Amino acid sequence: MISEKMEKAFNDQINKELYSEYLYLAMQAYFERLNLKGFVNWFTVQVQEEHAHAMGMFNYVHERGGEVELEAIEKPQTKWASPIACFEQVLEHEQFVTSRINALMDTADEVKDRAALSFLDWYLKEQVEEESNVGGVLATLKLIGDDKKALLMLDKELAARTFVQPVIG
């Protein structure tokens, strides 16, 4: 049985993951407006990943005999000054999520929930990958600067990203 404190912490994080999904959907819409279909694809995959992250915790809370209580999802930002500004926010957001996963692990430590700690290990590794992936796109965007041709080449590259349903936990 999951402790009340741990259950609340997971419920908070489910909301954060669903907000991530919503934020990236807003970013997907932004790149639709720019007609950069490879970026649109990149965010389509990102949205699916965030949904999978939320569902991983949703299922885990139930598996541990807890209850999921969904909260309202905050309205995300809808406009960005440039693709760079957008990806700067993605990186900042992923760093924030990493800090939240660390805080969840601190709570698991506090209540001596070893099972939750082991479950959260997957999320910690995923965050390392997420930050590295996003940081890579951001670094390329900075190199590209105002070169439209190079931006289209990156767009083509991002069109190849595919979603793989993760096995969480």
* Shorter beta-carbon distance to ligand FEO: residue 11 or 20: 20
Angle at 47 between CA 31 and CA 97, to 5 degrees: 105
Q: Residues 27, 39, 41, 53: which binds ligand FEO (CB under 6 A)? A: 53
Q: What is the DSSP letter of 81?
A: S
3-class secondary-structure state, position 65: coil
* Shorter beta-carbon distance to ligand FEO: residue 54 or 151: 54
Q: What x-and-dash track marks residues 6-45 binding ligand FEO by CB under 6 A?
A: -----------x--x-------------------------
Longest dimension (CA), the chain: 56
- Kindly determine how many residues on this chain lie close enough to bind ligand FEO according to the rule CB under 6 A: 7
* Shorter beta-carbon distance to ligand FEO: residue 116 or 151: 116
Residue 74 CA to residue 16 CA, distance in Å, equals 9
* Position with the least CB separation from ligand FEO: 53
* Shorter beta-carbon distance to ligand FEO: residue 153 or 166: 166
Residue 23 CA to residue 31 CA, distance in Å, equals 13
Q: Is 51 in the site for ligand FEO (CB under 6 A)?
A: no
Q: Is 50 in the site for ligand FEO (CB under 6 A)?
A: yes
Residue 80 CA to residue 128 CA, distance in Å, equals 25
Q: Residues 39, 83, 94, 105: which binds ligand FEO (CB under 6 A)? A: 94
**Residue type for position 50:** E
Q: Is 97 in the site for ligand FEO (CB under 6 A)?
A: yes
Nearest to 27 by CA among 81, 105, 69: 81
Residue 131 token pair: 């930050």
Residue 98 CA to residue 90 CA, distance in Å, equals 12
The residues in 105-134 that bind ligand FEO, with binding defined as CB under 6 A, are 130
Write out the residues near ligand FEO by the rule CB under 6 A.
17, 20, 50, 53, 94, 97, 130
